[in-house]
Structure 1
Amino acid sequence: MQAYLIDSSIYIFRSYFTLPENWQALDSGHSTHAVYGFTAFLLDMLRNKNPEHLFCAFDESLGSGFRHQLCSDYKANRELPDEALAFQLNACRQLCRVLGIAEMASDTYEADDLIGAVAKNARLANSQPVVVTRDKDLMQLIEAEDLFWDFGKAPPKTQRQVEKDLEIGCQQMADFLALTGDSSDNIAGVPGVGAKTAKQLLLHFPDIDAILDHLDQLQDLPIRGASKLADKIDNHRDQLLLARQLTTICTDIAEAPKLEQIAWQGINLNAFDLFCEEMGFAGKFHDRAKQLRGRQLTPSW
């Protein structure tokens, strides 16, 4: 039994930046091309996998999340969605509801955290989490039986395959990002420590704590510039530990849904048709949705 956990923004923004603005909402006139692409994506997912359990995570902690409380510079390089984009993001959450797909956003936690918490709940219920994303940050969640899948772009990957690509353990990903920094999230790393050096350090030590506990050994490692590594890391100790807090996905979220709460409920076809009409693409997806409605697992209408 599998649980498909979708990093929604990845697939919404893929459509937002690649599709033409050929559709508009009837009432507001806002473009709905990202909604159109996300609709096609979810219908493809439902048709191809006919999942028993499905969850879409969204981001709403844009400035209010716990990481922003830890560091005011966190994601300060990102602009907040304007009214037109915010409309499409909200519409995508509405889309999930009419498709019978469990969805969630939080003022405190990011989509990554919600996925991590639901993955933990799925494992406890003996279900296999399938993390649907292309975001490398989420690779830190992948455990022995999990899958990492960029739907439509590459086959699902096991933990072993992910770690072969990363050249480090999945559980070391947060430490790696803390050492190197993450420019996309405006997280500073240790100056002078790049990806190659970080991977070599994590080959010899399991995590940042172990590195900090053995600074006296760094000069003897077969790493270029090893003689200066201890000073670089020690001089930025506080920054490094803060970065690790920012890069680590939180999986302990009390309000995160349990496995039974993300069971696919089946499509409310009337509501879906009305939604498509409001989004300006009436009739485009009716036949595909109607076929899926006949395959729904636990109908609620």
Structure 2
Amino acid sequence: MASARDSLYLIDASVYLFRAFFSLPDSIKDSSGRSANVIYGFADFLMRFRKASDANRAALCFDESLTTSFRNEIDPNYKANRPEAPEDLKRQIHACKDLGKLMGFPVYASPRYEADDLIGSLAHQNRMTGGGGTVCVVSTDKDLLQVLKPTDEFWNFSKDERFPGRNVPEKMGVQAHQVADLLAITGDAVDNIPGLPGIGKTTAAALLKEFKSLDGLLRNLEKLKTHSMRGAARFYEIISQNREVLDRSRRLTLIESGLTVEKDLNRLHLAEPDVAGLERFFEDLGVGQRLIARLKEETSKKTSKKTSKKTSKKTSKKASKKASKKASK
């Protein structure tokens, strides 16, 4: 059985960028007097993640824009309720991509596809190309639950809440593969996706349990009209009158999984942090001395541990050879 260390950790970077932006004071400044709270907080997260996960393979997936996603072509109102990121935040996000690379992470971003799509596609590539191990999605975004297979995991790192894909029904009331359908029916206010009026999460989950999928529901819509489910006739009318909305919302909630994000999955292996490069990065920034000191200490401990293991193995091999020679005499 594969260990958690063998999992492919797919990190929704935006969650941790915005967490740093809103939780750390903008009094954290760089040498030029510009805010550096996001950079500092993201660096802290990456260090804590590497230590807590002991991951071999991972990827940082970034969102590029609120207005250039293919979903904006489907519906111009998609995420229109969100303000554009201020220039100061955009500058720090760009720096965080460089920071991620220096920390040894493969970094991915696209102007057309969101981080969710990159994560969904990398998860699919990992399964289809024999990448080995399970997938662990590191995020707080419920949309990403649809990416999980039963043995995969979802990790809310900030709260240290971690659960397998098989437990998605406990969280959402539906199976992981039904999450996009659920969100299409109920809508998602966070992303400005409209749902069906008068149908909430409980009813939507009941419909999906009965008809298995949104496609199954629409194929059998006439059956719903006379179904024994309480309110079935009313639901039939709502769905019939809003099929166009439902179809559009489904296209918005479904995460793309067919992209070739990385041609060589061997590149998903984490490299050792570039300590010298990080020293220069934070020296130019004018902050982060404590982070660098912490990184050096953790790197030193890791190196000592590896050296100790190698020495132990060599000693064990020598002892085994001696015992073998004695036995042959």
SS of equivalent to 1:45: helix
User: Is 1:241–2:247 an aligned residue pair?
Assistant: yes
Compute the displacement of 1:39 (Å): 0.9
- Per-residue displacement from partner, 1:89-110 (whole Å, max 9, x unpaired)? 1111111011111111101100
Q: Find 1:76's aligned residue among 57, 72, 80.
A: 80
User: Is 1:168–2:155 an aligned residue pair?
Assistant: no
SS of equivalent to 1:156: strand
What is the distance in 2 between the residues matched to 1:271 and 1:57? Answer: 21
Please list every run of at least 4 consecutive aligned residues from structure 1 whose deviation after the TM superposition is greater than 6 angstroms: none
Report the counterpart of residue 198 of structure 1 in structure 2: 204
Report the counterpart of residue 97 of structure 1 in structure 2: 101
What is the distance in 1 between the residues matched to 2:287 and 2:226? Answer: 64
Report the counterpart of residue 182 of structure 1 in structure 2: 188
Report the counterpart of residue 88 of structure 1 in structure 2: 92
Q: Find 1:251's aligned residue among 247, 257, 281.
A: 257
> What is the one-letter code of the residue matched to 1:12?
L
Report the counterpart of residue 58 of structure 1 in structure 2: 62
> What is the one-letter code of the residue matched to 1:45?
F
* Relative contact order higher in (CA < 8 Å, ≥ 6 apart): 1
Compute the displacement of 1:258 (Å): 4.2
Report the counterpart of residue 39 of structure 1 in structure 2: 43
What is the distance in 1 between the residues matched to 2:23 and 2:263? Answer: 32
Report the counterpart of residue 21 of structure 1 in structure 2: 26
Report the counterpart of residue 110 of structure 1 in structure 2: 114
Relative to the length of structure 1, the TM-score reads 0.93
What is the distance in 2 between the residues matched to 1:73 and 1:179? Answer: 17
Please give the root-mean-square deviation of Cα atoms over the aligned residues, in Å: 1.9
Distance 1:131 1:258, change over 3 A: farther
SS of equivalent to 2:60: strand
User: Is 1:141–2:143 an aligned residue pair?
Assistant: no
The answer to whether the 8 A contact 1:23-1:279 is kept is: no
Relative to the length of structure 2, the TM-score reads 0.85
Distance 1:196 1:222, change over 3 A: farther
Q: Find 1:129's aligned residue among 129, 135, 153.
A: 135
- Per-residue displacement from partner, 1:225-246 (whole Å, max 9, x unpaired)? 2221111101111110111011
The answer to whether the 8 A contact 2:196-2:242 is kept is: yes
Q: Find 1:283's aligned residue among 277, 284, 289.
A: 289
User: Is 1:274–2:296 an aligned residue pair?
Assistant: no
Report the counterpart of residue 8 of structure 1 in structure 2: 13
Compute the displacement of 1:174 (Å): 0.4
Compute the displacement of 1:78 (Å): 1.2
Identity of paired residues, percent? 35
- Which has the larger displacement, 243-252 or 281-290? 281-290
Structure 1 gaps, min length 5 = 297-301
Distance 1:34 1:224, change over 3 A: farther
What is the distance in 2 between the residues matched to 1:147 and 1:277? Answer: 37
What is the distance in 1 between the residues matched to 2:288 and 2:160? Answer: 31
> What is the one-letter code of the residue matched to 2:26?
E
SS of equivalent to 1:58: strand
> What is the one-letter code of the residue matched to 1:10?
V
Between Structure 1 and Structure 2, the one with more helix by share is 2
The answer to whether the 8 A contact 1:117-1:251 is kept is: yes
What is the distance in 2 between the residues matched to 1:75 and 1:243? Answer: 12
> Which structure has the greater CA radius of gyration?
2
What is the distance in 2 between the residues matched to 1:193 and 1:288? Answer: 51
Compute the displacement of 1:257 (Å): 5.3
The answer to whether the 8 A contact 2:62-2:108 is kept is: yes
The answer to whether the 8 A contact 2:79-2:191 is kept is: yes
What is the distance in 1 between the residues matched to 2:171 and 2:294? Answer: 36
- Which has the larger displacement, 178-187 or 29-38? 29-38
What is the distance in 2 between the residues matched to 1:258 and 1:134? Answer: 28
Structure 2 gaps, min length 5 = 1-5, 304-329
What is the distance in 2 between the residues matched to 1:290 and 1:50? Answer: 16
